[in-house]
């Protein structure tokens, strides 16, 4: 989350920082502007959070709009922190908006943050990639795919044939839900990869992003099960195959199970994408904690290893999230589909 992607950027950021994570001036190292060794890891890990404004590395490229809604103030939009403070309705307290009147948070905060900006960037990248591939396919429908068209077709066929089709019971469902699973896979993959680009930030290391993706999976799973199996079969699944007299025990357990699945999807993606960034920051922080270049070869060597490991993880986590969502749809439908089985 809002992690730096290179050791050089961390060095510049640490040695130019003049305040600690609480927003107050540091006591040790105050004169030189350097962060004391004891606060290095606290400062670096404190960077693992969302921020207002669009950032490349830790450099703020531009402000992003603050959007609040309150019953008293209505809808308020500010294009910069300065305009927000000047308006006099809200103030920023350690980066968090508070109402001036009672120092409470706004009822609804719809502000565009750094992670939201990178999600939009992910959307744009997907549209451009598939736009190019689609145009080439329409222009030369009989020629062999090449370049980005070939790469995307390989991934599309893989998701359809190896992830969706084995887990859904009918060909009709496969054709109907493949676009959703493709969108899920490519969106997660692009956001993960953006976190590995120097200066980029990984929106999937924000629990709000992974929770939103899991909620879409929850809705697709249960809507598909209700439509394909029917309400009676869906309710029967709440027994978990047990006799009816065990309903007081099994029904609450199965209802909890309905929500633990998207919860598991949320935490798995969030934890895996955050863990690698935390390790990278910790390894880089060792150089500044010990204040010697003697540990630099070991620190940088392990950082490079973790970086390549993260490259594998970004593909793996997109695949795991997608295949688990497909598995959950298949389990929810069971043997109640209204058409012949796909296999």
The residues spanned by each domain of the chain are 65-111, 115-333
Mean pLDDT, residues 66-74: 92
Mean pLDDT, residues 100-110: 91
* This prediction's pTM: 0.84
Residue recorded with tokens 């880089």: 284
Range from 140-149, 270-279, 318-327 that averages highest in pLDDT: 318-327
Range from 13-17, 202-206, 238-242 that averages highest in pLDDT: 202-206
Nearest to 6, CA basis, from 271, 314, 306, 273: 306
CA distance 279 to 26: 25
CA distance 260 to 43: 34
| Contact yes or no for 107/69 (Cβ under 8 A) | yes
| Contact yes or no for 279/286 (Cβ under 8 A) | no
The number of CA neighbours under 13 Å toward the Cβ of 100 is: 9
Question: Number of helices (H) and strands (E), helices first, in the chain?
Answer: 10, 7
| Contact yes or no for 99/106 (Cβ under 8 A) | yes
| pLDDT exceeds cutoff 70 at 21 | no
Give me the chain's average pLDDT, please.
85
Mean pLDDT, residues 296-321: 93
Helix extents (H) in the chain: 7-16, 40-46, 81-87, 114-139, 147-158, 171-194, 207-229, 231-237, 247-290, 296-333
């Amino acid at each position: 989350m809002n992690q730096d992607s290179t050791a050089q950027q961390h060095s510049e950021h640490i040695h130019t920082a003049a305040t600690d994570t609480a927003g107050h001036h540091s006591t040790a190292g105050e004169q030189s502007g350097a962060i004391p060794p004891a606060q290095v890891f606290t400062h670096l890990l404190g960077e693992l959070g969302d921020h207002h404004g669009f950032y490349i590395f830790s450099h703020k490229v531009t402000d992003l709009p603050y959007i609040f809604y309150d019953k008293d103030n209505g809808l308020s939009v500010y294009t910069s922190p300065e305009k927000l403070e000047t308006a006099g309705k809200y103030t920023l307290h350690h980066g968090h908006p508070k109402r001036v009147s009672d120092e409470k948070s706004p009822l609804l905060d719809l502000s565009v943050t750094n992670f939201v900006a990178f999600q939009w960037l992910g959307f744009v990248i997907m549209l451009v990639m598939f736009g190019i591939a689609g145009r080439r396919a329409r222009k030369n429908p009989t020629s062999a795919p090449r370049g980005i068209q070939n790469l995307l077709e390989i991934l599309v066929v893989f998701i359809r044939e190896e992830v969706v089709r084995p887990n859904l019971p009918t060909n009709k469902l496969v054709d109907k839900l493949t676009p959703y699973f493709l969108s899920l896979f490519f969106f997660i993959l692009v956001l993960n990869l953006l976190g590995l680009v120097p200066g980029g930030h990984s929106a999937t290391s924000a629990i709000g992003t992974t929770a939103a993706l899991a909620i879409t999976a929850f809705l697709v799973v249960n809507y598909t099960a209700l439509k394909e199996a029917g309400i009676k079969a869906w309710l029967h699944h709440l027994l978990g195959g047990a006799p009816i007299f065990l309903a007081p025990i099994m029904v609450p357990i199965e209802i909890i199970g309905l929500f633990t699945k998207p919860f598991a999807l949320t935490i798995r993606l969030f934890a895996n994408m955050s863990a690698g960034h935390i390790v990278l920051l910790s390894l880089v922080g060792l150089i500044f904690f010990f204040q010697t270049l003697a540990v630099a070869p070991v620190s940088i060597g392990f950082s490079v290893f973790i970086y390549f490991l993260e490259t594998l993880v970004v593909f793996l986590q997109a695949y795991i999230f997608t295949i688990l969502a497909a598995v959950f749809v298949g389990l929810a439908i069971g043997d109640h589909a209204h058409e012949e089985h796909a296999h």
